[in-house]
């Protein structure tokens, strides 16, 4: 058992796990930023197509990642119970289910042009997006595989390698983009096809990296042993835990996409300010997401040992660290908003002053937004560690879509508060989710519910 009798000991252990995960999430953001920046320099039409294609790819990737996220609490729980066989089985079935998602999705990506045309997109943009997805879509298989391995490694507290592999992938992606999009270093100039190939290369190298690490450094877990053999019982468990996680993630991403559409109705300047404010919030959200990953791992360990005291001490520490991050963020948002927003704008942009003025107001609202968003994601992480995903999915769907989006519309348009009203709708939806998820966690943290899994070793 861990020697973590004080909150400081818990905080130190949490940060040792969280910092590499946070760095990995930031490196993943760097990949998206690099793709956007380089294609944006190549051409506006290609940037529009990449934006559309990336959105399509992300939707399927986020849902498919639900099975990878399910592996994390399961492996953490089985490791605490010293059950190496179930660790291997859960990880293997996570890979099987991820491959199944790819097999179902790839035909849609291959024929995405006609689908996008049917949804009203411009013909050239739809054609370019299909060109990208027919190449990058093959990267969905290694991308989902990498997510499973990252969950496996994080659950076993091997988080530093997750960080370094993501950093290497970001560098490889940037170099391949530079060569293949623009035709540098003797490579052919492929434009958006070059960006797709770079994405495929990045995902493939990442998968090779995590497989090599697992085989060389973790020989106690022979993941490829009888890999071909189906394991219906464990597949059912991973599926049952994973599909609600995928839908929960989609519900939150969909909420932000819908609010962007609402603000787009107001005008281009508010939409630009909205995008910048979300990027700033997204950077700090990576800290909370890393802490939420640790919450999943540590709650899974507590469940594996039936240790409610450890669970609650961990929960208080995680919420405390997250709130401390919120305080630092809010101070920055309230004291230097113009400087932060100005980082994303050209000094010569004729709408610079207008966008900054709108963005300053949005960052004021983001002070509330940060708090509720942090609380709800940590609560979600804790509940996933306790293998509770269906009720959180329902809570998220009702909070985001049943309350948050209607509130955003009503405050933004009938009430006349415009972009500020839309953002307050986000706060209301995320705030409701935070309250309900926290209540759900307190109910689930009851000692009678936090018990070792059936068949666990004493």
**pLDDT (tens digit per residue) in 56-86:** 888 888 889 999 999 999 999 999 888 999 9
The tokens for 219 are 């020989």
Q: Are 108 and 41 within one domain?
A: yes
Residue 82 lies in a domain: yes
- The answer on 175 and 49 residing in a single domain is yes
Residue 236 lies inside a defined structural domain of this protein: no
Q: What is the pTM of this model?
A: 0.84
pLDDT of the residue at 48:
74
Radius of gyration of the chain (CA): 22
Which of 150-159, 217-226, 307-316, 422-431 has the lowest average pLDDT?
217-226
Domain contains 129:
yes
Is 271 in the same domain as 385?
yes
Residues 332 and 189 in one domain: no
Residue 67: inside a domain, yes or no? yes
Domain assignment present for 5: no
Of 192, 207, 230, the last residue of a domain is 230
Q: Is the pLDDT of residue 433 over 60?
A: yes
Same domain, 199 and 348: no
**Burial call 414-444: b when 16+ CB within 10 Å, e when fewer:** eeeebbbbbbbbbbbbbbbbbbbbbebbeeb
Give pLDDT tens digits for 283-292: 888 899 999 9
Pair (207, 272) in one structural domain: no
> Nearest 5 degrees, angle CA 50-CA 162-CA 185?
50
- Together in a domain, 267 and 204: no
Q: Are 405 and 259 in contact (CB under 8 A)?
A: yes
How buried is residue 124: exposed, middle or buried, by Cβ count under 10 Å (0-12/13-18/19+)?
Answer: exposed
Contacts of 389 (CB under 8 A, 6+ apart): 70, 241, 242, 244, 245, 248, 383
Split at pLDDT 50, 70, 90, the class of 202 is: very high
Q: Residue 187 is part of which domain span?
A: 11-230
Asked whether residue 53 falls in the same domain as residue 185, the answer is yes
pLDDT of residue 86: 92
- Write down the H helix ranges in 306-389: 308-335, 337-342, 352-385
Non-local CB neighbours of 388 within 8 Å, separated by 6+ positions: 440, 444
Number of domains making up the chain: 2
The pLDDT value recorded for residue 333 is: 86
Highest mean pLDDT (candidates 361-375, 400-414, 442-456):
400-414
Is 47 among the domain residues?
A: yes
- 238 lies in some domain: no
pLDDT at 3 over 60: no
Q: Same structural domain for residues 202 and 290? A: no
Let me know whether 261 and 149 are in one domain: no
Is residue 3 a part of any domain in this protein? no
Residues 211 and 129 in one domain: yes
Count CB neighbours of 455 within 10 A. 9
Please check whether residues 151 and 172 belong to one and the same domain.
yes
Separation CA 259–CA 271 (nearest Å): 10
- Are 284 and 329 in contact by the 8 Å Cβ rule? The answer is yes
Report d(CA 26, CA 200) in Å as an integer. 20
Which among 182, 200, 230 is the end of a domain? Answer: 230
Domain boundary among 184, 208, 230: 230
pLDDT over 70 percentage in the chain: 95
Q: How would residue 447 be classed by pLDDT, with cut points 50, 70 and 90?
A: low
pLDDT digits (tens, 9 = 90+) for 126-181: 898 899 999 999 999 999 999 999 999 999 989 899 899 999 999 999 999 999 99
Lowest-confidence region among 28-42, 203-217, 237-251:
28-42
Average pLDDT over residues 389-395: 95
């Amino acid at each position: 058992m861990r020697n973590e009798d004080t909150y400081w000991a818990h905080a130190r252990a949490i940060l040792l796990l969280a910092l590499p995960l946070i760095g990995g999430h930031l490196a993943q953001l760097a990949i998206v930023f690099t793709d956007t920046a380089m294609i944006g320099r190549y051409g506006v039409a290609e940037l529009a197509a990449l934006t559309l294609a990336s959105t399509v790819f992300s939707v399927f990737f986020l849902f498919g990642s639900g099975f990878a996220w399910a592996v994390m609490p399961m492996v953490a729980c089985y490791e605490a119970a010293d059950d190496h066989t179930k660790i291997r089985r859960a990880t293997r079935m996570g890979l099987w289910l991820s491959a199944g998602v790819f097999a179902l999705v790839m035909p849609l990506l291959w024929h995405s042009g006609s689908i996008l045309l049917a949804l009203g997109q411009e013909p050239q943009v739809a054609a370019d997006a299909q060109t990208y997805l027919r190449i990058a879509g093959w990267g969905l298989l290694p991308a989902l595989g990498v997510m499973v391995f990252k969950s496996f490694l994080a659950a076993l507290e091997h988080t530093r390698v997750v960080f370094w592999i993501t950093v290497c992938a970001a560098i490889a992606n940037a170099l391949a983009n530079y060569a293949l999009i623009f035709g540098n270093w003797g490579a052919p100039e492929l434009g958006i096809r070059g960006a797709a190939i770079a994405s495929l290369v990045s995902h493939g190298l990442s998968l090779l990296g995590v497989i090599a690490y697992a085989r060389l450094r973790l020989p106690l877990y022979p993941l490829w042993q009888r890999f071909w053999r189906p394991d219906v019982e464990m597949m059912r468990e991973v599926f049952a835990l994973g599909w609600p996680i995928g839908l929960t993630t989609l519900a939150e991403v969909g909420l932000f996409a819908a609010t962007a559409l609402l603000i787009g109705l107001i005008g281009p300047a508010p939409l630009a300010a909205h995008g910048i404010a979300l990027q700033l919030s997204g950077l700090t959200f990576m800290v909370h997401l890393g802490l939420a990953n640790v919450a999943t791992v540590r709650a899974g360990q507590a469940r594996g040992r039936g240790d409610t005291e450890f669970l609650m001490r961990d929960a208080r520490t995680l919420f405390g660290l997250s709130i401390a991050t919120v305080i630092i963020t809010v101070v920055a948002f309230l004291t230097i908003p113009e400087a932060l927003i100005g980082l994303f704008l050209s000094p010569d942009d004729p709408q610079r002053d207008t966008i900054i003025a709108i963005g300053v107001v949005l960052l004021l609202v983001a002070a509330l937004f940060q708090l509720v968003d942090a609380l709800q994601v940590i609560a979600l992480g804790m509940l996933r560690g306790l293998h509770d995903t269906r009720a959180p999915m329902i809570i998220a769907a009702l909070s985001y879509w049943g309350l948050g989006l209607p509130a955003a519309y009503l405050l933004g348009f009938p009430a006349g508060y415009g972009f500020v009203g839309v953002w307050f709708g986000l706060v209301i939806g995320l705030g409701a989710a935070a309250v309900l998820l926290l209540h759900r966690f307190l109910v689930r943290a009851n000692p009678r519910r936090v018990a070792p899994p059936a068949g666990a070793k004493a």
